[in-house]
Every structure is written in C-alpha cells, then in structure tokens.
C-alpha cells in the first residue's frame, strides 16, 4: 500500500536534471518517495525528518542502498551542521505527510477524535492543547490570523481560550463557521511546530552552504510558506518583483520556473491541489 503519494515528483526530478553522482539533501523524508527516486536516478541522499515514526522506512532504504543513504532524525534546521562539501542540492517537500494526517492519534485532523497534539516531533515540549493553555489570547488571535487567515481571529481566540479544548473534537465544535475549521487546525499546527521559523532558518543555512551549480527546490502547500519561499528566492536572485525597482545586475542565484500540478496529477492525488514547486540555482 502506498502510504503517501509524492507530490510533483516528476517535476522535481526534471528540475534537478542529471543527478548521477550528486549528493542531495532531502529535508523532508516522509515516506521516502523523493529519496527513493533520487537514489534510483544515481544520486546519494542525506535525508532529514523530525518524525521518529518514519525511521522504519528509512531503515528499509538503508538496507537497500547502504552508504548511498544517510538518515538524520531531526529538524531540517539542523542542515546548518552540514558542510558545503557534504552536498550538491537540497529539496524540501513541506508540510505534513498522509501518514501524519491520517493517523487519528496524532491530533492533526478534525476528522478523528483524539488528544490535541499536532507535534511532528514528540521531543517538542509543547503540544497544541498546551500551546492554547499557555499563550495569551492576543497571541492566539495572531496565530489564527497569520497562519489561518481567520478574519474574526480575536473573537475565536477568546472562545478557544475560555474553553481550553484538549481534544480535536472539542476544538472543532468551538468553531462555528465550517470554512474556518481546516484553517484553524492548520494555524495551530504551524505554530506548534514553528514551521515558518524552520523554513527561514534552513533556507538561511542553504544560502550560505550551497556550492556553485547547486540547486535548492521547495514544494509548498499553502500561501504562507509559499510567500516565504518565493520572497527568499527572489532576494537571492535579486528579483525585486516590483517593476518600478531595478534588478541587481549579475546576482549569485537564478530562479527556475514555478511549477504547479498538472490536471492528471490533480485527478490522481487531490492532496496536491495547492502545491507549488519553486527552485533556484547558484550560478557557476
């Protein structure tokens, strides 16, 4: 059974080009869909995932590919511990996997009743229920507004702080507008896992570590992370995005074409629907 259908995999492979004898850092191992494709195309892979549950799949790949594959069970912000010489290219397939969202016990989904956990990594100190208990109502409103685009975020934050839900269904039942349920769950998940801080920190390290000719690719799933990646890559490639501002001549990076899923991928895998693939290359 396929646990997680890799999104935009063909496009990722095309964007990376000939990767024989290159070493790729797969920052988001998940079910190993990207990692396997990279290994099969002749690359070596160093993979990160902060979720300990993926270790069995990583172990299986290790047995098949030996020292062509290294797995690191930590947050991808730890890419700063690698050296420039350790790798050629980097890929991120952001967000959570189907294994995480479809596992009732993890508390990511409002479809199942479960403790309100939402940690990708159980070593994180605070789960979603504890986050709600410990942050101020103002901060909770900011989280809902910034990461979930909830319009009446102050009102909803007040309702949530009053009830202090500890299960997914308790939280779901506090949200009166059904359109707000998924965004509220997304917002809390992003805050619990500091997802935006992770991306910013890892991209910062990639910027200083990537060698000339190296590529950095990101698959994003919602507008907040996509904006961070887009603006970061534009900055690296000195593309202002504003026609009134001049672009710097001869920047260090060049942007690659943005790709979204084809109709046939959308049909086969509806979870790919909001995906964007963005890439940059450090010039030789």
Ligand X SMILES: C[S@@+](CC[C@H](N)C(=O)[O-])C[C@H]1O[C@@H](n2cnc3c(N)ncnc32)[C@H](O)[C@@H]1O
154 neighbors 206 (Cβ within 8 angstroms): no
Q: CA torsion sign, 96 to 122 to 109 to 189?
A: negative
Give the binding-site size for ligand X (rule: CB under 6 A): 21
Question: In this chain, which stretch among 62-70, 88-96, 181-189, 250-258 interacts with ligand X, using CB under 6 A?
Answer: 88-96
CB of 75 to ligand X, least distance (A): 4
Asked if residue 93 binds ligand X (CB under 6 A), the reply is yes
Question: In this chain, which stretch among 92-100, 172-180, 255-263, 270-278 interacts with ligand X, using CB under 6 A?
Answer: 92-100
CB of 157 to ligand X, least distance (A): 25
C-alpha distances (whole Å) from 189 to each of 76, 106, 109, 143 are 17, 11, 10, 10
Asked if residue 31 binds ligand X (CB under 6 A), the reply is yes
Whole-angstrom distance, CA of residue 255 vs CA of residue 113: 43
Residues 147 to 206 in contact with ligand X, rule: CB under 6 A: 198
| Among residues 16, 19, 23, 50, the one that binds ligand X under rule CB under 6 A | 50
- What are the DSSP calls for 214-263, one per residue? -EEEEEE-SHHHHHHHHHHHHHHTT--S-TTSPPPSS-SEEEPPPB---H
Nearer to ligand X (CB atom), residue 96 or residue 114: 96
| Among residues 15, 75, 128, 184, the one that binds ligand X under rule CB under 6 A | 75
Asked if residue 76 binds ligand X (CB under 6 A), the reply is yes
| Among residues 22, 23, 28, 190, the one that binds ligand X under rule CB under 6 A | 28
CB of 96 to ligand X, least distance (A): 6
Length of the chain: 284
The residue among 189, 199, 257 whose CA lies nearest residue 228 is 199
Asked if residue 220 binds ligand X (CB under 6 A), the reply is no
Neighbour tally for 272: CB within 10 Å: 20
Asked if residue 108 binds ligand X (CB under 6 A), the reply is no
27 neighbors 90 (Cβ within 8 angstroms): yes
Look up residue 35 and give its two tokens: 């990692």
State the residues that interact with ligand X by CB under 6 A: 4, 6, 28, 30-34, 48-51, 54, 75-76, 93, 95-97, 120, 198
């Amino acid at each position: 059974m396929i646990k997680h259908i890799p999104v935009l995999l063909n496009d990722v492979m095309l964007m990376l080009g000939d990767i024989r004898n290159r070493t790729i850092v797969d920052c988001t191992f998940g079910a190993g869909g990207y990692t396997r494709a990279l290994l099969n195309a002749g690359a070596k892979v160093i993979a990160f995932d902060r979720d300990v549950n993926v270790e069995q799949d990583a172990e299986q790949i290790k047995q098949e590919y030996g020292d062509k594959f290294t797995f690191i069970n930590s947050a991808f912000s730890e890419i700063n511990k690698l050296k420039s010489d350790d790798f050629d290219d980097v890929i991120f397939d952001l967000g959570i996997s189907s294994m995480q969202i479809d596992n009732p016990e993890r508390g990511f989904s409002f479809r199942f009743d479960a403790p309100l956990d939402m940690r990708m990594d159980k070593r994180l100190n605070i789960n979603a229920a504890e986050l709600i208990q410990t942050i101020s109502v103002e901060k909770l409103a900011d989280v809902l507004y910034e990461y979930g685009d909830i319009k009446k975020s102050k009102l909803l934050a007040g309702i949530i702080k009053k009830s202090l839900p500890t299960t997914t269904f308790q939280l779901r039942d506090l949200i009166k507008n059904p359109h707000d349920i998924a965004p509220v769950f997304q917002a809390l998940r992003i805050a619990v896992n500091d997802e935006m801080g992770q991306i910013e920190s890892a991209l910062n390290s990639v910027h200083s570590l990537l060698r000339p000719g190296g590529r950095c690719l990101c698959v994003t799933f919602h507008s907040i992370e996509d904006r961070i990646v887009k603006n970061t890559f534009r900055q690296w490639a000195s593309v202002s995005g504003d026609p009134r501002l001049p672009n710097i001549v001869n920047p260090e990076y060049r942007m690659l074409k943005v790709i979204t899923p084809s109709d046939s991928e959308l049909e086969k895998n509806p979870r790919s629907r909001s995906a964007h693939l963005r890439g940059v290359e450090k010039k030789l």
